[in-house]
Structure 1
Amino acid sequence: MGALQSLHGQPEYIDLAEKTGFSYEQIGILHKRFNQLSHNGETLRNFHHNGKGTADEIGFEEFLVVMSHFRPPSLHMTEEQRENVRREKLRFLFNMHDTDNDGTINLEEYRHVVEELLSRSGALERETAKGIADAAMLEVASISMGKMEPDEFYEGITFEHFLKLLDGFEIESKMSVRFLNMDTTTLCK
């Protein structure tokens, strides 16, 4: 409990609470989880399996900023605020898949997402995953663009297409972290 109490007096945690929207208690819980994941280190490493073996390191503040995208919506939000939260969460998801940051999820990026999702099950081979990704991208193109001419080329999913594809999908509460009243150290063992 001492760690949670010490959060109230530290200016950096006041800034973090303002920046992320988390309460001091939630920051304390996330700080505990960060320490568990980083083995009490200063940073977490995110390894990329892109053939280069690169790693990004993020500190606690970056971790909190990422986690803030997963805050549950407030019960007292206006419709406009709820729509802004929805767009913010969808923008976060979109940016996760637009790995070259060009504003479009192209076929290669989409293939990578599908391959990652399907390969974790171990049931599909790489070529099967590529075929599924290609078929899914054609479906996305037909939804986004309507009927295309044979000589037209679909560049990829723009953010506007992404919004259209996920219209009606309730992401505001589904894409949120829940803070349970339990000791998370037992979950990590």
Structure 2
Amino acid sequence: MGSCSSQAALIPDVDQILRETGFSQASLLRLYHRFQALDREEKGYLRSQRVDFAGFARVLAHFRPVDEEDATTRDPKQPEPLNSRMNKLRFAFQLYDLDRDGKISRNEMLQVLRLMVGVQVTDEQLESITDRTVQEADEDGDGAVSFMEFSKSLEKMNIEQKMSIRILK
């Protein structure tokens, strides 16, 4: 089997993906092999969403554990890493903001929660959870949750740990 470096050269735009995601070459190579296994039809993207490997790696980079050493030695001229607290929050917010209007409406929250919990919770319970969640986070009383309200409602939560997958180190 060839060296990690020579195998990584087979990945399209490998240098750019390494810079953007912060993954090591070995981690990126493991992800690439996993991507190829998921891409059974060998189209270079996954299903109808047309997620190519670079997009696949960028999404997973949000879940890379935060390396304290990287955080203290990061060049301030470089963009914030995808696995930073703020980028993890932005990623999570975008999962709820289905219409991309910069706000999470009650209906969007309900739709996403329904997808996440499936049939384990009754509609009444789900609506109650949704109403309480929006009410607690909605500081300006507009019936929706902005990114700032979303961030503030999660300020005491250890997002860096909760949105990390150890195998992505």
Report the TM-score range of the alignment, normalised by the length of the smaller protein.
0.7 to 0.9
Residue type at the aligned position of 1:88: N
Alignment of 1:79-158 (within 5 A): 85-119=84-118, 122-124=119-121, 128-129=122-123, 131-145=124-138, 154-158=142-146
CA distance in 1, matches of 2:136, 2:95: 22
User: Following TM superposition, by how much is the alpha carbon of 1:154 offset from its aligned partner in structure 2, in angstroms?
Assistant: 4.0
- Residues 76-122 of structure 1, C-alpha deviation per residue, up to 9 Å, x if partnerless? 224x989x811110110000111110001111111111111221xx4
Identity of aligned residues (%): 30
Q: Structure 1 stretches (4+) deviating beyond 3 angstroms?
A: 7-11
Residue type at the aligned position of 1:161: E
Measured on the aligned residues, the alpha-carbon RMSD in Å equals 2.8
Give the count of matched residue pairs.
158
Q: 1:166 to 1:177 in 2, by over 3 A?
A: same
User: Following TM superposition, by how much is the alpha carbon of 1:23 offset from its aligned partner in structure 2, in angstroms?
Assistant: 1.2
User: Following TM superposition, by how much is the alpha carbon of 1:138 offset from its aligned partner in structure 2, in angstroms?
Assistant: 2.7
Are residue 179 (structure 1) and residue 161 (structure 2) matched?
no
TM-score (norm 1): 0.72
Larger radius of gyration: 1
User: Following TM superposition, by how much is the alpha carbon of 1:167 offset from its aligned partner in structure 2, in angstroms?
Assistant: 1.7
User: Following TM superposition, by how much is the alpha carbon of 1:173 offset from its aligned partner in structure 2, in angstroms?
Assistant: 2.2
- Secondary structure of 1:143's counterpart equals helix
Higher RCO (CA 8 Å, separation ≥ 6 residues): 2
Structure 1: runs of 5+ lacking an equivalent: 46-54, 181-189
CA distance in 2, matches of 1:133, 1:158: 21
Structure 2: runs of 5+ lacking an equivalent: 75-79
8 A Cα contact 2:109 2:130, kept in partner:
yes
TM-score (norm 2): 0.79
- Secondary structure of 2:162's counterpart equals coil
8 A Cα contact 1:3 1:28, kept in partner:
no
8 A Cα contact 2:135 2:143, kept in partner:
no
Alignment partner, residue 49 of structure 1: none
Are residue 164 (structure 1) and residue 152 (structure 2) matched?
yes
